[in-house]
Structure 1
């Protein structure tokens, strides 16, 4: 599988250092669509802080990816649903750390979550 970033610089606003406008996937034979994943522990309880929930989310995503014989290196798209816009920086930092600095197309949206203690939810697409 080959990942080809497309980050035009003319006629469009510039991408920031932590994402790319588009990522072309060539030669993939499998695509994994992961439902929104929350910062819940194995008992279904939400982490008590934003940082704890972000750590749980990335741990949960690694578990889901492993079940499909994939890793975070296979992630090609991320959508973040944030309960508050002030969570954007911590969410971006957690994403950059989890991906080891690799950039993918990403969108963050501020929403009302289904439960008050859910602070952030991530939805990913992975390919192999």
Structure 2
């Protein structure tokens, strides 16, 4: 399987250093669509604050990916749902760290979550 980033520099606004405009996946045999994942511990309790919830989100995503014999290296697309715009920087930093600096197409949306204690929700698409 091969990932080919497409990040045109003319005719479209520039992507920032933490994402690419598009990712072509060649030779993938499987796609995994992961539901929005919250910063909840195994008992369903939300982390105490933004940083803890981001840590739990990425831990949960790793467990879900592992159940399909995948890792964060298989992620090809990501959407974040943020309760507050102020969470964008911390969310981007957590994503960049979790992906080891690898850039993928991303979208961040400010939305009201179903529970006031859920600060961020992340959904991913992975290919293998």
Range into which the TM-score falls when normalised by the shorter chain: over 0.9
Partner of 1:100: 100
Q: In the alignment, what sits opposite 2:109?
A: 109
Cα deviation 1:71-91 (Å, max 9, x = unaligned): 000000000000000000000
TM-score, normalising length from structure 1?
1.00
Q: Which TM-score applies when normalising by structure 2?
A: 1.00
After the TM superposition, which segments of 4 or more aligned residues of structure 1 sit over 6 Å from their partners?
none
Name the CA distance, whole Å, in 1 between partners of 2:49 and 2:78: 21
Taking the aligned partners of 1:72 and 1:126, their CA distance within structure 2 comes to 8
Task: Give unmatched runs, 5+ long, in structure 1.
Answer: none
Show the counterpart of 1:119.
119
Q: Please provide the CA RMSD for this pair.
A: 0.2
Matched residue SS, 1:108: strand
For these two proteins, the number of residue pairs brought into alignment is 128
1:59 Cα deviation (Å)? 0.1
- CA distance in 2 between counterparts of 1:7 and 1:42 reads 38
